[in-house]
Amino acid sequence: MLTNLLIYRFVLVNALFFALAGSLWWNGYVAPVFQTDLSYVTFAIAALFVLGWLGMAREIFIASRQLNFAKSVPQPAREAERDKDLAKVEWLASVSEWLVGLGLVGTVIGFIIALSSVDQSALLQTSGAQSAVATLMSGMRTALNTTVLGASLALWHEVNQRMLKTALVVYWADRMAAVPQAQG
């Protein structure tokens, strides 16, 4: 019997995402996202993603161990056990929303940066217009980079979340199905 299939799927899917991220880094697309962010929201997004990813990896390994054990030794379960176990991983389901939310906060901050430092009276002069365009571009870069980073990492996290959720649903369905057999 094959064991640890959940871990294998997790490793394979995340290896593909890390390869994509590495390719983007190698081609010079990632560093500017962090270097040009005047709000530093991209660092908060990255830190939240790492925290969520580590939490997800931990729960994937725990769920895989539980699945393997439940297949070898069927154990009945009560709804309270299931609810308690699912409540422990509930925060992971919210990480994707938080990543997108931080991306949107970065978007708003970027627009604020773009619009707040433009001196309208300076627009009448060529040098003032050039300075205003540079400020606008800097703010827009922050806005777009935080949006793209937050949404991209949210998608990655969501794929992992779906794997974990599916595994836990299967695990608890098997354990709940064992209840009548244990009572009979």
The pLDDT assigned to 71 comes to: 77
**Residues 110-167 pLDDT 10s:** 989 888 876 666 666 667 677 777 778 888 999 999 999 999 999 999 999 999 999 9
Measured between alpha carbons, how far is 83 from 12 in angstroms, rounded to an integer? 29
Give the chain's radius of gyration (CA, Å): 23
The pLDDT assigned to 24 comes to: 96
- Model pTM score: 0.86
Amino acid at residue number 91? W
Confidence of residue 63 (pLDDT cuts 50, 70, 90): very high
Range in 25-34, 102-111, 126-135 the model is least confident about: 126-135
